Structure 1
Amino acid sequence: MTIELTMLAYAAGLTALLWIPYILARIARLGMVEALTYRRDDEVLSPWAERAKRAHMNALECLVPFAAIVIVAHLAGVSNANTVLATQVYFFARVAHVVLHIAGIPFIRTLAFAVGWLATFALLYQVLMQ
């Protein structure tokens, strides 16, 4: 498996795990039985759990174009030092974004998001220029 596909698998794995923190917070606040029901409109989670949920939604939104571009690159046989670097930067920027988002650190979180977004477009550039 290429490094690019490995980084995609890591990013997908990270995203797949991000529902756990806010569900655990819901269980801690409401108990297991109530947590298994649909969320009420007036239900309030702790601020960090709400941020964890938003970090998860953001990760899902960013993963879709990243995954599509990685797969297109792989199918087109585009793999070089720049594509490897772009996928690695994307993954570590997403890890930083999740941590910073849940911790409630706004400006550096935005920078981490932007770095991941730029890495996605750097990868796209490599694919389109081949």
Structure 2
Amino acid sequence: MTDFPTELGVLTCLMILAASLWIPYIIGVNTDPADPDNFTRPGDLTALRPWVHRAYRAHLNLLEQGIPFAILVLLVDRMDGFTALTYWTAIAFFWLRVAHAAGMITGVARMPLRPIVFTAGWICVLIMGYAVFAAA
């Protein structure tokens, strides 16, 4: 069996997070006392309780950065270009995304913290993009 790169392990965990981040939103809309029917989704997001709306946005934010990051990690893997830089970038990106989601859903990550964490994730995407070109 060949070594399983940390970057792919982190990517696996990131995709599990992305595939699971819908759960807080669904719990929120299904426990909304203002809409006992809960049939129209997403409906008027601004009418939802603030944490439910933020959960929806946290999921979208993860997909916005997670999909490009995942593709870049897979490209680096295909090019056999993993380095210490990609190792630490993958780890940092995962924990930034966890912090962003938790902070956004709970409302703890307010201005300017939330955009700073999001921007740090974007920088990780750029670094992984650099790694693609460096491996070429």
Provide the TM-score with structure 1 as the length reference: 0.90
In structure 1, C-alpha distance between the alignment counterparts of 2:87 and 2:80, rounded to whole Å:
13
| 1:25 matched to 2:28 | yes
Provide the TM-score with structure 2 as the length reference: 0.86
Aligned counterpart in structure 2 of residue 111 of structure 1, from 110, 116, 126: 116
Deviations 1:59-92 (A, max 9, x none): 1111111011000000110111111011111101
Q: Shift of the alpha carbon at 1:40?
A: 7.0
Q: Please, what is the CA RMSD of the aligned residues?
A: 1.6
In structure 2, C-alpha distance between the alignment counterparts of 1:17 and 1:82, rounded to whole Å:
28
Unaligned stretches of 5+ residues in structure 2? none
Aligned residues: 127
Aligned counterpart in structure 1 of residue 13 of structure 2, from 6, 10, 14: 10
Q: State the one-letter code of the partner of 1:38.
A: T
Helix, strand or coil at the partner of 1:124: helix
Q: Could you tell me which residue of structure 1 aligns to residue 75 of structure 2?
A: 72
Helix, strand or coil at the partner of 2:82: coil
Q: Is the 1:11–1:63 contact (alpha carbons within 8 Å) kept by the matching residues of 2?
A: yes
In structure 2, C-alpha distance between the alignment counterparts of 1:99 and 1:48, rounded to whole Å:
11
Q: Shift of the alpha carbon at 1:41?
A: 4.0
Helix, strand or coil at the partner of 1:106: coil
Q: Is the 1:100–1:106 contact (alpha carbons within 8 Å) kept by the matching residues of 2?
A: no
Q: Could you tell me which residue of structure 2 aligns to residue 58 of structure 1?
A: 61
Within-5 A mapping of 1:27-42: 27-29=30-32, 30-31=35-36, 34-35=37-38, 37-39=39-41, 41-42=43-44
Classify 1:42/1:13 alpha carbon distance in 2 versus 1 (closer, same or farther; 3 Å).
Answer: closer
Kindly, what percent of the aligned residue pairs are identical? 34
Q: State the one-letter code of the partner of 2:106.
A: A
